[in-house]
Structure 1
């Protein structure tokens, strides 16, 4: 490795020594021999100074906590300090002599490659801040031309960049909040504690109609929530319906300031999903109860009956009240071994379908049935539907 050479550095010194040696040929032999001896001393002193300078340069490069490396004009790594090598999980010995682009192809076609090539070609220094293609961290990179190629020095500024990004996010959030509540797509209003509207955003007027204006009273459904909040001395919430849409309304009174804030959230989609689910459950219940096929719903592990239809009660000669809450083993409806086989196949996911099975009625009569089971989800839990 060699330190970057200024215009009056090693190259110029070597040129001057060579020129003096050439001019000695024009001098008389006696004087030439005398001066030649002095030149030898100068060369030796220069070599020692150059070696000391390079050693000092290397010591300095290894002592810093930042990265430094040098590339020659063929893009070979001629020197890299330990800090830079450790960043890519290597040692300097593993990298020196390697072609930079072949060793780190991830840097090709990036701003880093363009900067390095520009400095190598134009011999002008460059400075850039960039996210490392190898580490994902932010660096302040300085690239300098040197006698043999380029020297690259970088400082890790990742923490500073993260702090700047957090500040920028805070500014954006502050700007966003400054636009609220007027740009909030959900209704927002402020009222006096008696329900007189003091302020509302556009969404509130669109949701609750033209009568929802400053100076007017809250509509009765909203006023009821405000009165509840005043009575409780704190937050109150309820769902209301307006013009075919549903809103979750929250009212927060601020007694010391003699006003209350009202916030609404459109929950029409959720309400419609709940109603569709309820309608589906009602249809299932009707089909379940009226089916001529014996149907029962039970827990998986115990086989405890949760619901049966009339056809099932008739089949085993028990009343609905006698069956619900009990297990098929307790009532003697099925043999324990048969029950265990049903559970084994149910857990295995293979199902238990169209299997001839004996069940026992309350009178002791044996019924031959074609038995099937299916998993069914009820209140977030898997239950067994027996057919």
Structure 2
């Protein structure tokens, strides 16, 4: 399918471990959501009455959907990097799964040279593109912090589990044989060896007491008096396994040191993980505060927008009035302009008439003056 970034498109990869050991006739993946609709992959490991691997896309909640529901989707099912088949189907109550009964021959799937089952693990990928959904599904838009909430919710569960679970360490018993038998010790030497043994046994075994313990055991094992039969048996039994005891202790010391190192590293990782979670909680609170601040600013912006709208309406009203007056002025000006041109024309005509009249009047005045001079 063509790659597009929209809420109607999604994909899911299902990892099936120990695939060849699966005895079930069919297996379902966990549900995944695309465009508000739940889906899951259905596979028949040994084929659906066929010698092929059978793959289907299934609607897991079909029994609880409203009467008459449908989901038309274009989808592809693929064995990762190997086989990819694409089809389209309208899912409904009677056909809640659709796919390929003969997806790939089982002989080809199980062929080691084919590369389908790496480490006996099968990877199946589903890509779904929703075309129509009846009845429609309301999809909540994703928030930018959703991925953080999802991750740190899982981290919080891990932190809580780590805080409630303690780490127990088992103890191991150690035995070691001692030195070779020595000469028969004196009573004083036996008592001294018994005291030395008591002092060694009063504390945990340490490497620096190995020689002292070995010497005491050697002395007591050679003693003929001063020991009960039970004490003699215990000493001989312990001496017979003294080397194993020392070896076991050294192994324990090494393993314990490794354990303490990992415990320290675990505690450091846990501290970092817990600190990250605490920081996440702080970030979430800061984000909530920013969201409230944003909402308050939006509210104020709406108030300002209303005020600005009223002012803008006033400006537009005055502008419209000005334009109307301007139009009237334009008409009046055009009338004045036409009248002016007409009057200019009439003025020129009147001026010409006046000039002619003045010339005539000048002749008449001259004649009048001559006549007046003759008789007056």
What TM-score does the superposition give when structure 2 sets the normalisation length? 0.19
Give 1 or 2: higher strand fraction. 1
The higher radius of gyration belongs to 2
What TM-score does the superposition give when structure 1 sets the normalisation length? 0.19
Higher RCO (CA-CA < 8 Å; seq separation 6+): 2
